[in-house]
Structure formats: C-alpha cells, structure tokens
C-alpha cells in the first residue's frame, strides 16, 4: 500500500491544528514532521513542545524526520512527545546501530535517512535493522525545492536490494514531490511519499485527495 505523509513544514503554523485535521479528514494516515537544529542543516524549525501540542489533537502516525546533529541524544525526548516513527540521518551520527536500538527499545519504528550525496552502499548494512529508509530527493533543510531525479536511481537500487533479500523495509522519499512527479517516485520503488508544498499550498483537502487518486491510496 502506498502512503502519503504530508509535511507540516509547509503548513500555516498559526492554524496548525486545523490544517492537520484537514489532512486527516482527507484520508492521510501519516504526518511528516521536520525537526531542524540550525547545525546539521542551516535552518531551525521546531521541537518537542510543538510535537507534544499537536499530539494532543491528532491520532495520525507521526513520522518525525530529525535533521539534527547526533540524534542519539534526543531519542527518548522525541519518543515521549509522541513520535511513532523516528527517522534520523546516517550522516549525523557515528553510532547508527546504537541509535536504531534506542528507538526500538522505546517501542517506536526506526528509519534511517540518506541525503543526496550519500551512496546506497552506506545504508545497505542497516537495511535489515530498520523499518524504513528515507531517501532525500532534495538537499535537506528547506521545503519548496526541486526534486533531484538522480536520487530516484538510489530508490531503485534500494528497492532491488530489499526485494532480493526478502525484507519488508519501507522506502520513503522526501523533497520536491508534487502531483506531476509522484508517479515517478512510486515507479522507482518508493511506497511512502512526503509532500509539503504540494499539499499545504491552497486547498489542502483537495490536494490530499488528488494525491490519493494518483497513488492508489494514502
């Protein structure tokens, strides 16, 4: 089943609760939550207090994308404020296995993320240890960028490794995904798709429905 994970980075933060309800009403089952620390990526977004507040008004699966340095320092905090799935960057830690174990120990799903410059070979040893691989299709740090088509080749490569090994690891793509290119991402082998701008710009409900049609489901 293909899943849409709308990214709230593109939401109107003055109406965040309302807009999350709207994506839920339209049938989205995941919510992508981008945490940026101003160090691993240049921008700063938001942290635990915001996640905790929206947790109180939503049951949707929280797909938290940590763009922070040494994420192992904060796994418990993100779990405590309601993250269901915790994605951290391979490039941000020297302790990949330990970070996966921390997430798993807390009963959360673990995801490992690779930036555009990181090759598939770097993530390959961990494929059997995680629930998801998140392949960035733009440079992490900002919404509204254009998809880098070469990143979809990595999705293809990871999909074929996962199949050859009989694994059930999800492949998520994130960055520059819109209605006119979502099919390319699915064809490459992604089964979870993040979209920020293309969901939260203009009519949110209609946008989610249109993604749902193109993707076969949300």
Min separation Cβ 62 and ligand DX5, Å? 13
Residues 4 and 33 sit within 8 Å (Cβ to Cβ): no
Q: Which is nearer to ligand DX5, 161 or 205 (CB)?
A: 205
Q: Which of 63, 131, 174, 180 is catalytic?
A: 174
DSSP string spanning 91-116?
A: GG-S-HHHHHHHHHHTT-EEEEEE-T
Min separation Cβ 137 and ligand DX5, Å? 8
Q: Which of 34, 37, 63, 170 is catalytic?
A: 34
Q: Which is nearer to ligand DX5, 79 or 195 (CB)?
A: 195
Q: What is the separation, in whole angstroms, between the first and last Cα of the chain? A: 8
Active site residue 34: yes
- Which residue's CB atom is positioned nearest to Zn ion? 65
Q: Which is nearer to ligand DX5, 27 or 116 (CB)?
A: 116
Q: Which is nearer to Zn ion, 128 or 174 (CB)?
A: 174
Cβ burial, residue 29 (10 Å; 0-12/13-18/19+): middle
Quote the DSSP letter at residue 46. Answer: -
Residues that bind ligand DX5 (CB under 6 A): 7, 9-10, 32, 34, 65, 138, 140-145, 174-177, 194-198
Residues that bind Zn ion (CB under 5 A): 34, 65, 174
Active site residue 174: yes
What is the distance between the alpha carbons of residues 138 and 158, in angstroms, rounded to a whole number? 17
Residues 92 and 68 sit within 8 Å (Cβ to Cβ): yes
Q: Which stretch of DSSP H or E encloses residue 159?
A: helix 150-164
From Zn ion, ligand DX5, none, which one binds at residue 111 (CB under 5 to 8 Å depending on kind)? none
Across 68-190, the runs of DSSP E, i.e. the strands, are: 85-89, 109-114, 132-136, 170-174
- Which residue's CB atom is positioned nearest to ligand DX5? 196
Min separation Cβ 24 and ligand DX5, Å? 18
Which residues participate in catalysis according to the annotation?
A: 34, 174
């Amino acid at each position: 089943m293909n899943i849409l994970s709308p990214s709230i980075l593109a939401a109107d933060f003055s109406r965040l609760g309302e807009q999350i309800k709207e994506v839920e009403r339209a049938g989205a089952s995941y919510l992508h939550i981008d945490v940026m620390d101003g160090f691993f990526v240049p921008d700063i977004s938001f942290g635990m207090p915001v996640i905790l507040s929206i947790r109180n008004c939503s049951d949707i699966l929280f797909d938290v994308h940590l763009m922070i340095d040494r994420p192992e320092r904060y796994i418990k905090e993100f779990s405590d404020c309601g993250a269901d799935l915790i994605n951290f960057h391979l490039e941000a830690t020297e302790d990949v296995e330990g970070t996966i174990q921390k997430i798993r120990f807390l009963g959360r799903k673990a995801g490992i993320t690779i930036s555009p410059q990181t090759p598939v070979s770097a993530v390959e040893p961990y494929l059997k240890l995680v629930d998801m691989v998140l392949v960035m299709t733009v440079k992490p740090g900002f919404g509204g960028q254009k998809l880098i088509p070469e990143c979809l080749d990595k999705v293809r490569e990871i999909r074929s490794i996962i199949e050859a090994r009989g694994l059930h690891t999800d492949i998520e793509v994130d960055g520059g995904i819109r209605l006119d290119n979502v099919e390319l991402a699915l064809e490459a082998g992604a089964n979870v798709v993040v979209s920020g701008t293309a969901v939260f710009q203009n009519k949110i409900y209609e946008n989610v429905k249109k993604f749902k049609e193109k993707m076969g489901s949300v």
